[in-house]
Amino acid sequence: MRVVDEDGNALGILPVYEAIRIASARGFDLVEIAPNSNPPVCKIIDYGKFNYERQKKEKLQKKHQVTMNVKEIRFNANTDKHDIDFKTRHLKQFLLEGHKVKASITYKGRMITHPEIGEKLMQEVLAKVLEVGKLESPPKMDGKLLIAFILPDKQKINSYKEKLSKQESGAIKQEAGAGKQETAGLEKNN
């Protein structure tokens, strides 16, 4: 087995008992670093410290890992227009927050004999939502459900937010202009 000491210097290829003897003489442990290499690589280090640092790295990787939640909104094949608008606003909000969204349309009873109604509804929902997201896969039937998964698209979200901020700033300017006109009218009357 190839042995490396605590400073990173190679001690060469040694028998196992010799490597263990050297490690215990120095007050350290013999830890197998690369068991699959030929010959296996072992390092003379303090195992407690090695284990602690490895766990610390794993925690740091988990901390920086982004978890994506799947939010689901269900529609019925004969959902009313107001309800569709309300639910698509929620879908957009979930996408803006960075969540993956599952839009599903349920068919009840004999509605399944007219799947084109649900497909039309799904296309309407997707048309409203795809300005901030992208379709993961085309809508597909799963039993009595028509399901589509939508992922947040950062570029579309940024452009959507810019568009909203421009609209808001334009509305504020219009309100300010209207306020000046009202005060000018009041001054003329006095």
What is the fold of 70-156? Translation Initiation Factor IF3 (3.30.110)
- What residue segments make up the domains of the chain, in order of their start? 2-61, 70-156
Query: How far is it, in rounded angstroms, from Cα 36 to Cα 43?
Result: 14
Lowest mean pLDDT among 2-16, 129-143, 149-163, 172-186: 172-186
What is the fold of 2-61? Ubiquitin-like (UB roll) (3.10.20)
Token pair, residue 123, equals 């296309």
pLDDT at 170: 75
Judging by DSSP bridges, how do beta strands 145-152 and 41-45 pair with one another? unpaired
Beta strands in 46-176 (DSSP E): 70-76, 100-106, 133-142, 145-152
Mean pLDDT confidence for 79-104: 90
Query: pLDDT tens across 152-172, in order?
Result: 888 888 888 888 888 887 766
- CB-based contacts of 3: which residues, under 8 Å, 6+ apart? 10, 11, 12, 13, 14, 19, 22, 30, 42, 43, 44
For residue 153, report the phi and psi dihedrals to the nearest 5 degrees. Answer: -115, 110
Between the CA atoms of 136, 137, 139 and 141, what dihedral angle is there, to the nearest 10 degrees? -120
